[in-house]
Chain A
Amino acid sequence: MLPADRRSHVAVHTVQSSQTPASSVRRQNSHVSSDQHLVRELFSSARGGPTVVAVSAGAWHAGVRPGMSLAEAGSMSTQPIQNTRRQAQLSASEIQFVEWRPDDDRRVLQEAAEYTRRFAPVVGLDGMPVPDCLHLDITGCGSLFGGESSLAEQVINCLAGRNYHCQAAISDSVATSWAFVHTEGHFLQHNAGQHRGRGYRSRSRHTELPECDLPIVIIPPGQAESWLQALAIDVARIPLADTQILRQLGIVTIRQLLELPDEDLPSRLSSDAIRRLRQLSGMEDEIIVPIPESDPVQASWVSEFPVSDRRGICQVIEHLTEDIVGQLKRRHLGTVQLTCQLKQEDGNRMELAADVIKPLQSASELYAVLSLRLESLSFQQAVTAISMQSAVVPLPTAHQKDLFNANLHIDPVEELTAVVNRLSNRLGKETVLTVHPVDNPVPEHAVELRPLMTSQSASAICTDRQLTDLVTADEVHQPDIESAERPLRLLSAPERIGDADTNPLTDGFVLSGQPCRVVEFIGPERIETHWWHESAVHRDYYRVRTSTQAACWIYRDIVAGGWFLHGMFD
């Protein structure tokens, strides 16, 4: 998305920028290094010296190509090529080399995003290295612009008026939209392909996919997978190294990629590639990280008479929360995070942040969550100013409540959301967990505990799904009498109860400070990991009943020796 201009430009990637001292590198944003990493990965010449990353049409006609070293491109500029009339007209000295600065590109893209704000409440930058597209969450916005296609057309026209020539794709996932506006792959990848020579032919577009001249693609809900199948794997956003592996295996289309068995993927592909695949197949949700608004939702309070008591501070915060919610209601938005800064008399600032699991527009609920965070703060000095800022997101569809029946309007999901908000803010996000099974024989790793409230939880479909699963009534589940029993209490660190030369099954052991002997045992049950695991486990487990009638789970470490108490059948 470069503005059309009359001069010929060449963007140059310089190795110097990556050879800056470590201290300055640390100051750089992480995305800059990922941008440079991608360029070095795509263009081998970029590893040795300055390299051309992108060229304008004029420079292209002069023979300059992306991936050329600067020296090679510079030599072309001193030897005018006279092959065609267009090149003859171009004076070599007119080619201008400009240092490629990824941050500048992002800034320009963010400026373009500002033009699209009126079309969608959430506008975000592409999360890929060297981003070249914007993501707009247009959920529920189509009707305001005469339909989604009309909205897309207006966005394209709006940007075209500012010399941006765009394509648009509308779908129910970020990954699918990205794929349909990058059917030739990422623009840098495309450039690199062109540099490989005239023999290069884009493998992105499969022959089965119909050619379409319109710059707008609308994928009907639920049909993303069938539409994606014809595309090449370049559109899956997986790292280049993984793409090469897949090509070596003969996997060139998304259809082939999605047909791969899930259990084979971890051994062949990187975790990043697997995450991208899950996003593409809709198994993992991806949210649009909003670009901060130039006109944020905020409120502040300043007083020449400092407030020292907690009640006074709470009153001010309650008032500011109501102010914030008023602004949100006017803009038809919700919030997922309130950040509050309290300035003390000595100039020090205290920060308070309250998160909610789903977008809210209720002053009372937001204040309830904030006040829980306030309880953890101790005010040594009086407060002179308080400012509050809100992270905005689109509000989910509201459900009408019943006027006459007090119980009918109780929605278990909403009620659970409220209690999770309170618990997560008072006790910490990592204390409220959901449980997910893991295919791992080691007892301490048999399940994965994931915080319900994460930084990406707001507006995420998977969080909604989890909350719904938690409250949805089930059929009667019969106890699983086929699988081996596991103890309800599992010690986080197994307790040593005997050395390699002792046997607690015959000699007894000490439990809760009291010696006891084993009166009955069942086992061994061997639990071991495969040899290629980093921390291999080889254990023989026994279910024992002690003379104190306690049912314990003990094991013998086959490799290291020694006996351990691992759990209790409480």
Chain B
Amino acid sequence: MSATSAALQMLRRQLVQSQSHSPRRTVVSTGLPSVDALLPHAGLPSGSLLEWVSDGPGHRASSIAFRCATGFLQRSGAFAVVDGRGCFNAAAVRNIGIPLSRLLLVRPQGSSGRDYCCGGGSGTPQLRHRHRTETLWALEQLSRSSGVQVVVAWIDRLSSTAQRRLQLAVETSGVTVFLIRPAAALRQTSWADLRFHVQSAREMQSAVSGGNAACDRSRIAVRLIRSKNAVRHNGCAWLECHHETGNVLEVSELARTAGAEDAAC
């Protein structure tokens, strides 16, 4: 090992240590060991901006984000959801393990119940712009409040300035923000502490093997594609949906090995 790479590794270690020793920052387990294993501190840092990029509607990125956020419920503060799309189904979070009494729902006016995935938004461009501005404003206000523990929001477009403002807000308040974004966000610069990409197993395998590999359709791949300060920013966790209830669960070790063998064949 050269002296340069050794020095780089030492610097990385120090960076990780300095972040973990911040008095306002703690680490919360996602409840999914395979996802925890991906993360620099073996859990999600509080007071951070976390991006979950989904390849499309119905890919369970939101379910996984909510599932990972349940660990924050053991700390005081509201669980806020900014529903700019107007189609968040609060009844569904009970199955994930989030009590409704902790849920604060902010639904800015003009939330039509239709979004970019289901036929596009409604109203004039001015109205849409106003609606987007109000959604962002609500998100920033909640991110600044110490009375809130977690904020989950679906945001399609987010400027670098807005991201930086959010980052500063969460660092000050200790609020953890889960941003759920469309695949188009992958082309944008991210200020998030952690950025995950949620893909279906088939798409993931297609990307790896050119679409020839057979795979279990119910599996979901969670990839860590960005980590702040470039600390451990690659890896993939395999999850699957429960056949009956649809809950997101860990893939068992045996199944994982079999899946890997299938993919190798």
Contacts and interface: CB of A to CB of B under 8 A. Distances in A.
Interface of A: 410, 412-420, 422-423, 426-428, 430-437, 443, 446-447, 449, 452, 469-493, 495, 511-513, 519-520, 522, 543, 545-546, 548-552, 565, 567-570
What is the interface residue range for chain B against chain A? 35 or more
A477 B73 contact: yes
Contacts of A419: 141-142, 144-145, 147-148
Interface of B: 54-63, 66-67, 70-71, 73-79, 85-109, 112-114, 117-119, 134, 137-138, 141-142, 144-149, 180, 200, 202-203, 217-218, 241-247
A560 to B, nearest CB: 21
15 contacts: A415-B147, A422-B141, A427-B109, A472-B102, A474-B73, A476-B70, A476-B74, A481-B95, A482-B245, A486-B91, A486-B95, A490-B88, A545-B217, A549-B56, A550-B59
Contacts of B146: 410, 412, 415
B56 A471 contact: no
A431 B63 CA distance: 23
A417 B78 CA distance: 11
Given A495-B118, A570-B54, 14 more contacts: A415-B146, A416-B78, A416-B147, A422-B141, A431-B107, A437-B91, A481-B242, A486-B89, A487-B92, A488-B63, A490-B87, A492-B114, A545-B218, A570-B57
Contacts of A416: 77-78, 104, 145, 147-148
A520 B75 CA distance: 39
Nearest to A570: B62
A412 B76 contact: yes
Given A449-B90, A479-B95, A569-B63, A433 B142 contact: no
A537 to B, nearest CB: 15
Main SS at interface, chain A: mixed
Given A449-B105, A486-B92, A491-B114, A477 B99 contact: yes
Contact of B62 (A488, A492, A549): A488
Contact of A492 (B57, B86, B102, B247): B86
Given A410-B146, A512-B57, A552-B58, A471 B77 contact: yes
A418 to B, nearest CB: 7
A161 B134 CA distance: 58
B97 A569 contact: no
Nearest to A472: B76
B88 to A, nearest CB: 7
B61 to A, nearest CB: 6
A447 B91 contact: yes
A481 B60 CA distance: 16
B117 A568 contact: yes
Contacts of A491: 87, 113-114, 118
